[in-house]
Amino acid sequence: MSKNEELFQRAQLHMPGGVNSPVRAFRSVGGVPRFFTRASGSKVWDADGQAYIDYVGSWGPMILGHAHPQVIEAVQRVAAQGLSFGAPTEGEVVLADLLAQLIPSLEMVRLTSSGTEATMSALRLARGFTGRDRIVKFAGCYHGHGDSLLVKAGSGALTFGEPDSAGIPDCLAALTLVLDYNDTAQLQETFARLGDEIAAVIVEPVVGNMNLIAPDIGFLQTLREVCTRHGAVLIFDEVMTGFRVALGGAQALYGITPDLSTFGKVIGGGMPMGAFGGRRDMMQMLAPLGPVYQAGTLSGNPVAVAAGLATLQLIQAPGFYERLTVTTQQLVQGLMRAAKAHGLNFSAQAVGGMFGVYARAEIPRNLAEVMACDRTSFNRFFHAMLDEGFYFAPSAFEAGFVSAAHDIADIGATVAAAERVFAGLAQT
């Protein structure tokens, strides 16, 4: 029995499914999850000592690559001074200033310990600000596991074919309107009927939780226009896209200014961290200034702040995003060439440092098209690439991530392996 198998057996005794987050369990793709012991640059090593070129990157945060020396040094330096105080620190102020500088829509910001906390808090704030109850989200978009948001959610929920979670009161779920991503006509019709009852629209501007889905031209602009017209709060969930698709996030890439935004992943540099912020008049509704309550014992944790600050400083280097975008495009173009050479129905696309691989001839635009992908073929691709030493997301409903540590040799090796894998798939 391998060490991975032994650990998975032990894990299932006291941890539901043997994991602390569902998609890690490999239930979608089958097999035994890998238990990692260390990571460096573009690579991770599992409990059996097997090395993999990593395209998960802790689900997005490791934009610099794993264990970047300057990030590690910052964490070690601050950790030696104390792990948590439950009181303000200068680092929180510096990070808030930097976030406001890099994301102009953040006139004020509050730190949290996770992206889920950030989205839950942003929605509560939007409801408190507008005095309305209804919210709009899009099928397949995942915004954390808050009760109002686990209605046709993406990512791990889709992995098990159960988009709705048990334990959500019907009366609360009824306040969440679920629309189709990229359907501007449906969006406009919904606001024409119910616009005066809608507190907020929350959206992944580039979806990463039903695989990577890019917005159609005009979709985000229509969102901005209908929210403005009807007095609803537009919330961009940039937990995944923030500092991943561009230095200023998706809102900078597409030129749309949301009222509120949520962040996570990259801003913590690999440590637990989230944030939400936006218009000053809205943020001043938060306690202790206003009536909307939100708190967190470990919010602004000094060690997480140190990791986030070091990461955000490094990604501002000239040409960083241009190089990251080129590397990611080289990966998806190579994968598509390899699949096409063997006549397989695979497609791929990238936005910034995020990418999607689909067992489908055409790139999907919404949840229905994602669900039409051939998941059996994807699972075979996943396991064959894993055997070759390449770690892709263990689900057909997850985006992939490239880091600055991935070099031309990594990409070349990945494409060469994909050519062998696709050749094998074409013969079966």
Q: Which two tokens stand for residue 242?
A: 């923030």
Name the DSSP letter for residue 368.
H
Residues 250, 111 share a domain? yes
> What DSSP line would sit under 237-274, residue for residue?
EETTTBTTTBTTHHHHHHT---SEEEEEGGGGBTBS-E
Residues 102, 197 share a domain? yes
The position carrying tokens 């218009």 is: 279
Query: Out of 87-101, 148-162, 174-188, which region has the weakest mean confidence (pLDDT)?
Result: 148-162
Q: Residue range 271-276: average pLDDT? A: 98
Q: Residue range 255-271: average pLDDT? A: 98
Residues 363, 262 share a domain? no
pLDDT of residue 152: 59
Is the model's pLDDT at 84 over the cut of 50? yes
User: What is the extent of the structural domain holding 79?
Assistant: 69-314
Q: Residue range 231-254: average pLDDT? A: 98
Per-residue pLDDT reduced to its tens digit, 186-215: 999 999 999 999 999 999 999 999 999 999
Residues 340, 305 share a domain? no
Residues 212, 295 share a domain? yes
Is the model's pLDDT at 164 over the cut of 80? no
Is the model's pLDDT at 72 over the cut of 50? yes
Amino acid at 150: L
Could you tell me if 50 and 36 are in contact, meaning their C-beta atoms sit under 8 angstroms apart? no
Residues 347, 257 share a domain? no
Among 280, 314, 348, the domain boundary falls at 314
CATH number, domain containing residue 295: 3.40.640.10
Which of 186, 275, 240 has its CA nearest to residue 400? 240
Among 314, 334, 349, the domain boundary falls at 314
Count how many domains the chain has: 2
Helices 219-230 and 184-194 pack at an angle, to 10 degrees, of 10
Could you tell me if 287 and 293 are in contact, meaning their C-beta atoms sit under 8 angstroms apart? yes
Residues 248, 190 share a domain? yes
Residues 358, 269 share a domain? no
Q: Which residues are catalytic?
A: 142, 237, 265
Is the model's pLDDT at 79 over the cut of 90? yes
Residues 335, 309 share a domain? no
Among 286, 314, 342, the domain boundary falls at 314
Phi, psi of 370 (to 5 degrees): -65, -45
Could you tell me if 112 and 268 are in contact, meaning their C-beta atoms sit under 8 angstroms apart? no
pLDDT of residue 163: 42
What count of residues does the chain have? 428
Residues 274, 148 share a domain? yes
CB atoms within 10 A of CB 248: 17
Question: H or E element: which one contains 390?
Answer: strand 390-391
Residues 361, 298 share a domain? no
pLDDT of residue 162: 39
For residue 216, count CB atoms less than 10 angstroms from its CB and return exposed for 0-12, middle for 13-18, buried for 19 or more. Answer: middle
Residues 134, 9 share a domain? no
